């Protein structure tokens, strides 16, 4: 199944008619799109009860991707991570079967260096995970081999740092579209969305993060229509 959504589920006033209903924004969002990326977990922890409530507000086939806390990726820089990993997984694990993926975004300054982080992650978590590196060294063969060994997909991000293509473990794809040429702001036109629909694998996540001007929701809905056709 292709999972299509946006970074967060806030519904802007100008898009209200695209997400009809009177319930919570998440419920209305989930009636039109089948996935969402939780970015707020990067900045602060959420209680297990909060994750459980979000799971209840969405249909059975809905899925969440949860962004790993910056305390692990940016502050600890993937070192001595077992305790915060355990805590984080205990929180977002309350999503149950709707926890579809973990997103691991790295700071631009973090170069590739073999370490224990992915082995520690796999000792605690067996589900899907995708890495968004932002240093060119993560696109070399040695880094790719490490990701394959631990079943970690490498995000296809736009604008790209390395190749604009999925990498690492190929068990699934994870696309993050931040907006190009202006990150977080630019719209993806109909031609770009149509081209994307022809490129993504049948088992892919596609998350639009060009949310600053509200283009993400429209882009996601357009892609959802094309992939259903």
Predicted confidence (pLDDT) per residue in 91-139, tens digit: 999 999 999 999 999 999 999 998 999 999 999 999 999 999 999 999 9
Architecture (CATH level 2) of domain 3-228:
Alpha-Beta Barrel (3.20)
Q: What is the pLDDT of residue 130?
A: 98
Q: What pLDDT is recorded for position 36? A: 98
Q: Are 148 and 122 in contact (CB under 8 A)?
A: no
* Residue 163: per-residue pLDDT: 76
Residue 161: predicted pLDDT:
85
**Strand extents, DSSP E, the chain:** 3-6, 35-38, 63-67, 99-105, 129-132, 153-154, 156-158, 167-168, 173-177, 204-208
Candidates 33, 27, 34, 26; CA nearest to 9 is 26
pLDDT tier at 165, thresholds 50, 70, 90: confident
| pLDDT at 190 exceeding the cut of 90 | yes
Residues of the chain with pLDDT > 90: what percent? Answer: 92
Q: Which residue has the tokens 């394959």?
A: 148
Of 53, 37, 193, nearest in space to 100 by CA:
37
Is pLDDT at 229 greater than 80 in this prediction? no
Please report, for the chain, the start and end positions of each structural domain, with discontinuous segments joined by +.
Answer: 3-228
């Amino acid at each position: 199944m292709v999972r299509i959504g946006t970074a967060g589920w806030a519904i802007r006033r100008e898009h209200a008619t695209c997400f009809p209903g009177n319930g919570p924004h998440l419920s209305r969002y989930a009636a039109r799109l089948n996935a969402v990326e939780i970015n707020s977990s990067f900045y602060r922890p959420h209680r297990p009860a909060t994750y459980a409530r979000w799971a209840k507000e969405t249909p059975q086939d809905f899925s969440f991707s949860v962004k790993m806390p910056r305390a692990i990726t940016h502050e600890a820089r993937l070192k001595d991570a077992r305790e915060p990993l355990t805590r984080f997984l205990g929180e977002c694990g309350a999503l149950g079967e709707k926890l579809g993926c973990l997103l691991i975004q790295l700071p631009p300054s973090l170069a590739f260096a073999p370490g224990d982080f992915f082995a520690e992650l796999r000792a605690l978590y067996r589900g899907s995970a995708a890495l968004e590196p932002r240093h060119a060294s993560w696109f070399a063969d040695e880094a790719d081999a490490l990701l394959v060994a631990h079943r970690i997909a490498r995000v296809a991000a736009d604008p790209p740092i390395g190749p604009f293509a999925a990498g690492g473990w190929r068990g699934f794809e994870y696309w993050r579209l931040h907006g190009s040429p202006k990150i977080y702001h630019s719209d993806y036109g109909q031609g770009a969305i149509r081209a994307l629909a022809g490129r993504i694998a049948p088992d892919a996540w596609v998350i639009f993060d060009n949310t600053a001007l509200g283009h993400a929701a429209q882009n996601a809905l357009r892609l959802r229509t094309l992939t259903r056709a």
